[in-house]
Homo-oligomer: A and B are copies of this chain.
Amino acid sequence: MLVNDRVKRYLLKARYGIEKESKRVDLSGNLAKTDHPKSISLRDDHPYIQRDFSELQMEIITPVTETLEELFDYLAAIHDVAYRSMGENEMLWPLSMPPQLPEKDEDIVIAKLKSAENVRYRQSLSNSYGRRKQMLCGVHFNFEFGDEFIQALFNAQSEIKDYQHFKTEIYLKATRNYLHYRWFVTYFYGASPSSEKNFFEEDSLNEAVRSIRSSKYGYTNSDDVQVSYSSIQNYVSDLSLMVKRGLLSAEREFYSPVRLRGGHHVSDLEDHGISYIELRNIDLNPFENYGISYEQAEFLHLFLLYLLWKDEGENCDEWVKMGNFYNDIVALEHPLEPTQFEIEAENMIDEMEQLAAILNLTISDTLFVHLREMLMDPSKTLAGRLYKESEKSSQGQLATSIAKENYKKSWDKPYQLAGFTDMELSTQILMFDAIQQGIQVEILDRQDQFLKLKLKDHVEYVKNGNMTSKDNYVSTLIMENKTVTKKILQQHGFRVPKGEEFQTIEQALRSYDLFSTKPFVVKPKTTNYGLGISIFKEGANYEDYQKAITLAFKEAPSILVEEFLNGTEYRFFVLNDRVYAVLLRVPANVKGDGKHTIEELVMQKNRDPLRGRDHRTPLESIQLGELENLMLKAQGYRTDSIPENDEIIYLRENSNISTGGDSIDVTDQIPDDYKKIAVDAVSALGVKICGIDLIIENTEVPAANKNAYGIIEANFNPSMYMHIYPYKGESRRLTMHIIHYLFPELLQSQSN
């Protein structure tokens, strides 16, 4: 059936989700004694970061995605948020097995959840299994076949008439086969070979194995718990029987390596059928940053397709039971020994490879190479590698040093959000904050920086980090049009540079007299990176005026001739009638020390991790190109000159951050009357989120004085990252303000 042309095209359509548990530890690898980080919104139903059994068990939950790429992007991003939310003194333990546990069971603190019921449930688990067992961690891999795929399969057969029934049968077959063959997964990816000393109350295991966690020594129900996978009805009724008999405290206590999912309760499965399955037997992969590799996920998808195709035994329940038996054998084999199922495994790899070829599946070239390598050489399996590398020191020391590597990667560039580093910085930071606040983030268009944010039923769309539903359309059009912006500000009594707009050179020339003797600037109406702008600080003669006019008209069909305002330009970031940040931008510069050349000083300054290229960092590297050399020359310097101690050498005239300028937060230094001007001007434009540029001659002079300030421009897409990661001064987390503005209920719920 899979080979059917109509089925084939949808084979790789699927939906994925990962839940990954890990323990928080301190930088020495000891279990953390702290509470779950307060910076993460402390909701029991946080969509991305929750607590598992214990307060120190962090569970990272990805959203459902339609590609593995996206799945791993989210996994990376949520890890970044988790790391940076824990603070600089903690990290995540990379192993399924816990580090050294406290002597007393009670010292393992149960998660301090809000819901009393959830706490009670954990208490009952603690009573039944002991808290030590609860410290095992792993990855749960949620998998749903694409609907178009199942639909195509359904259409290609005629045996089963009901679609939902068919779908459920598909999942049941895959599940039974998975349970039967799961030793195959345990062999390659089992990764819990040994425990710290006091994990087991009596020393049950003397030798290293492939996977303690997947074995009978792991986290399993008692042998009395027996549930049939022969039909959904049997599954549901068996489960409820187990609960009735008191063998399980609740249905969710059923720890099968595969959980059937659909609806909120197990009983919903009967009505709605299975909508996806959850594979729960995946140990944390210690060699991967995020506990599971992309190749592993690809393998699981392909494996499930293979299991759909592969015949199963006639007696379903027996078939599953055999699987448990086989798995326990493989799980308890020594990690460096070959498995006794080597021949079956080889056959299965061959079959899977053939299937992939027949179906034209595009998967990593290396998958089958790696599987064969691991089969040939057990020391290349995850358990084998972990066991071997631990021998050099100890499993605990190895895990601690791996954890530290992961920790470093996450702190290395704190302004980036792993998984989404191709997006704009401000959007990355906003996504970080949203994830932390427990807001669901969906990317509607990645290149376009278009996000959907969702908190319960409240949806907000955001583009470029600050284009939202809060601003009205015509206000942004006002800001886009400099003439209109100025007219409206002027009508509201604000000082703007006086000037005129011209559509023809002749018109502009005719008005020469209006400007000739004053400082003025000529610019295209729509400026593009400052092209076509001429500044005359002392007025201009007719020839120069004419030249400037001609230049400006080369850039745009309309030009502006405006009064030039003296003073310093400040960027005010205004949000909902309040100034949240004021920034001063200083042209690219270095400060001399009397020893190093300008070139050396530039290299030193560029070493700051905040500096880089192409807007992927909060600051740009200072260049030493043509313009910088000209600027140095004009001041009598060369790149090998050695400036005196504390001498400031400017390398650019313009103060743009994009040409190496410094961003300096001056929010607390700017007097309130100037902030009020900014707020009132933005309000006059009817705008809620705005970066407004004021020229101020002297901030100590009251704003009410004549010509104390002038408003240059209002920006509807103001850069935020330059305020969040300034070169100097305090960081202003504008993205968080945006989020609280869009979702005011967050602040309310926090104050409750």
By a beta-carbon cutoff of 8 Å, the part of chain A in contact with chain B is: 5, 8-10, 362, 444-445, 447-448, 450, 452, 460-463, 467-478, 481, 483-484, 487-488, 503, 510, 513-514, 558, 686, 716
By a CB distance below 8 angstroms, the chain B residues around A476 are: 473
Q: Are B468 and A474 in contact (CB under 8 A)?
A: yes
By a CB distance below 8 angstroms, the chain B residues around A478 are: 450, 461
Q: Are B467 and A473 in contact (CB under 8 A)?
A: yes
> Which one, B8, B362, B686, contacts A513 given CB within 8 A?
B8
Q: Are A450 and B558 in contact (CB under 8 A)?
A: no
Look across to chain B and name the residue whose beta carbon is closest to the beta carbon of A5: B513
By a CB distance below 8 angstroms, the chain B residues around A510 are: 362
A481 CA to B452 CA, complexed, in Å? 14
> Which one, B9, B444, B462, B483, contacts A445 given CB within 8 A?
B483
Q: Chain B's nearest CB lies how many Å from the CB of A231?
A: 31
By a CB distance below 8 angstroms, the chain B residues around A488 are: 444, 452, 461
Taking each of A450, A474, A487, A558, which has the highest tally of chain B beta carbons within 10 Å of its own beta carbon? A474
* Known A444-B488, A484-B450: A469·B477 in contact at CB below 8 Å: no
By a CB distance below 8 angstroms, the chain B residues around A483 are: 444-445
Q: Are A463 and B474 in contact (CB under 8 A)?
A: yes
* Known A469-B472, A474-B468: A481·B8 in contact at CB below 8 Å: no
By a CB distance below 8 angstroms, the chain B residues around A475 are: 461, 469, 473
By a CB distance below 8 angstroms, the chain B residues around A558 are: 447
A155 CA to B569 CA, complexed, in Å? 32
Look across to chain B and name the residue whose beta carbon is closest to the beta carbon of A513: B9
A473 CA to B474 CA, complexed, in Å? 8
Listed from nearest, the 5 A-B pairs whose CB atoms lie closest are: A9-B513, A469-B472, A471-B473, A444-B484, A461-B474
A484 CA to B503 CA, complexed, in Å? 37
A447 CA to B513 CA, complexed, in Å? 26
A721 CA to B462 CA, complexed, in Å? 32
Look across to chain B and name the residue whose beta carbon is closest to the beta carbon of A473: B471
By a CB distance below 8 angstroms, the chain B residues around A448 are: 481, 484
Look across to chain B and name the residue whose beta carbon is closest to the beta carbon of A483: B445
Q: Are B686 and A469 in contact (CB under 8 A)?
A: yes
Q: Chain B's nearest CB lies how many Å from the CB of A620?
A: 25
By a CB distance below 8 angstroms, the chain B residues around A447 are: 503, 558
A471 CA to B468 CA, complexed, in Å? 11
Q: Are A445 and B513 in contact (CB under 8 A)?
A: no
Taking each of A461, A476, A487, A558, which has the highest tally of chain B beta carbons within 10 Å of its own beta carbon? A461
Q: Are A474 and B445 in contact (CB under 8 A)?
A: no
Look across to chain B and name the residue whose beta carbon is closest to the beta carbon of A8: B513
By a CB distance below 8 angstroms, the chain B residues around A514 are: 9-10
A5 CA to B513 CA, complexed, in Å? 9
Give me 4 other A-B pairs in contact (C-beta within 8 A), A8-B513, A461-B475, A461-B488 excluded.
A5-B513, A9-B514, A445-B481, A461-B477
Q: Chain B's nearest CB lies how many Å from the CB of A476?
A: 5
A476 CA to B476 CA, complexed, in Å? 11
> Which one, B362, B450, B468, contacts A473 given CB within 8 A?
B468
Look across to chain B and name the residue whose beta carbon is closest to the beta carbon of A486: B444
By a CB distance below 8 angstroms, the chain B residues around A473 are: 467-473, 475-476, 716
A477 CA to B470 CA, complexed, in Å? 13
By a CB distance below 8 angstroms, the chain B residues around A8 are: 513
Q: Chain B's nearest CB lies how many Å from the CB of A675?
A: 24
A483 CA to B445 CA, complexed, in Å? 7
> Which one, B461, B462, B463, B477, contacts A450 given CB within 8 A?
B477
A472 CA to B689 CA, complexed, in Å? 12
Look across to chain B and name the residue whose beta carbon is closest to the beta carbon of A452: B488
A239 CA to B119 CA, complexed, in Å? 90
By a CB distance below 8 angstroms, the chain B residues around A467 are: 473-474, 477
> Which one, B450, B472, B477, B487, contacts A472 given CB within 8 A?
B472
Look across to chain B and name the residue whose beta carbon is closest to the beta carbon of A472: B469
By a CB distance below 8 angstroms, the chain B residues around A469 are: 472-475, 686
Q: Can you list 15 residue pairs at the A/B interface with Cβ under 8 Å?
A: A5-B513, A444-B484, A444-B488, A448-B481, A450-B481, A461-B477, A462-B474, A467-B474, A467-B477, A468-B472, A468-B474, A469-B473, A472-B473, A473-B473, A473-B475
